[in-house]
Copies of this chain bind each other. A is one copy, B any other.
Amino acid sequence: MGESLTKSRRGTTQPARGGQRGAEPRPSAGAPQRQGGIGTQGDGGPQPAEGHEAVMLLERARAEVDPVLRAALGSLPAPMRRVALHHFGWEQADGTPADGGSGKAIRPALVLAAAAALGGPEARAGAARAAAAVELVHNFTLLHDDVMDRDTTRRHRPTAWTVFGDADAILAGDTLQALALRLLAQDPHPASSAAAARLADCVVELCAGQHADTAMERCAPGEVTLDEVLAMAEAKTGALIGSACAIGGLYAGASDEEVAALDAFGREAGLAFQLIDDVIGIWGDPRRTGKPAGADLAARKKSLPVVAAFASGTPAAAELAELYARTSEKEDLDHIALTVERAGGRDWAQGQAADRMARAMQQLARAVPDPEAAGGLLALAEFVTRRSS
């Protein structure tokens, strides 16, 4: 008999996992800094509204997509509607209204920004349903991942399975996937079928990524290769961010080549985001990350810097293997973090992130050569990969 949810691989109090299929960018205080060498905008010098552009785009996306999402959820039979509204942060567990916690709407904002970049305001206005569909798929995977991973909090609220039970969390996820595809099937836009096919393909990839993540959880860190963990992160995080951009392009009537470049842009930016998120998970300021320092290390997460450290073949890697194998109540997490750093894990991750962002920018320039038009996508990509440590 195989693995069962009755045998949880981990405790129920640990933070979100390595592959951040469900991650939202961690809060990042302080004035954001554009990363050198990763922008395509050659106008030099910081903009007065730096970072603000992304925030405005996100707020606008929320305002445009939320009515579509609320209408879609409102159409559900009452029990599933209740689980979904709770998951989206719009209702408390007892059914009273709640406000907030539904995430930053990065994926819908990317759909809309990509549509605007290639087709202007009209294309953007026509892509609201597609943007909502992408957000529904994202949330369906969160509901299911939380069941599988036994994660108990999400966006500072109890996860659906802890409130409604596993069965209803699984069923609500199934329902959201169906709602996403229904939105596209009912969308008279000429791109809707191509978008639906692309989104369905993406779900297949997301599931393969989550499978790889759960399989890696059962391996020792030294058994996982960097290629494997990068492929897993691309499937789990990059695929949907890439699809969001590609679907926006489809809704703007973009060419196959432009759509492919948008997909690649999103995938590379998504991977950069994951790398930075993993760095922050080890060396981030707890006041900014909202997580205790070293929580990812305490949970023995096989995050990207850790796998890189293990793969380094350095004496520090051997030391790290010993530290990771030990369990102790009062372990020195700072020492483990330093060992990952000495084994090159931090430098590798930061270098990879910069490299991925550089590639993302190349792809963006292919898809949207006009820097003015590419501004929104660029701002969003920089927002999600902004360093907070």
Binding site for B on A (CB under 8 A): 1-6, 8, 76-77, 79-80, 140, 144, 147-148, 161-168, 170-175, 177-179, 181-182, 184-186, 192-194, 196-197, 200-201, 203-205, 207-208, 210-212, 214-215
Given A3-B167, A207-B174, CB of A79 within 8 Å of CB of B197: no
**Chain B residues in 8 Å Cβ range of A211:** 77, 79-80, 167-168, 171
Copies of this protein in the assembly total 2
CA distance A303 to B196 in the complex (A): 39
CB–CB B148/A170 < 8 A = yes
Which of A80, A185, A196 neighbours the largest number of chain B CB atoms within 10 Å of its CB?
Answer: A185
CB distance from A235 to the nearest CB of B (A): 8
Q: Are B197 and A165 in contact (CB-based, < 8 A)? A: no
Residues A4 and B171 in contact, CB atoms below 8 Å apart: no
**Minimal beta-carbon separation of A18 from chain B (angstroms):** 15
Main SS class of interface, A: helix
Given known contacts A79-B208, A196-B185, A177 and B175 CB-to-CB distance under 8 angstroms = no
- Find out whether the CB atom of B193 lies under 8 angstroms from the CB atom of A185: yes
Chain B residue nearest in CB terms to A196 = B185
A178 and B204 form a contact (CB under 8 A):
yes
Q: Please, which residues of chain B bring their CB within 8 A of the CB of A147?
A: 5, 170
Complex Cα gap A179–B196 (Å): 11
Which residues on B sit within 8 Å (CB–CB) of A5? Answer: 4-6, 147, 166-167
> In this complex, what residue of B is CB-closest to A194?
B185
24 contacts between A and B (CB under 8 A): A1-B162, A4-B166, A5-B167, A76-B208, A77-B204, A77-B211, A80-B204, A80-B208, A140-B174, A148-B167, A168-B214, A171-B211, A174-B177, A174-B203, A177-B178, A177-B203, A178-B207, A179-B204, A181-B181, A181-B200, A185-B185, A185-B197, A185-B200, A186-B197
- Is the CB–CB distance between B197 and A182 below 8 Å? yes
Q: Chain B residues with Cβ under 8 A from A192's Cβ? A: 193
Cα-based distance from A181 to B133 in the complex (angstroms): 13
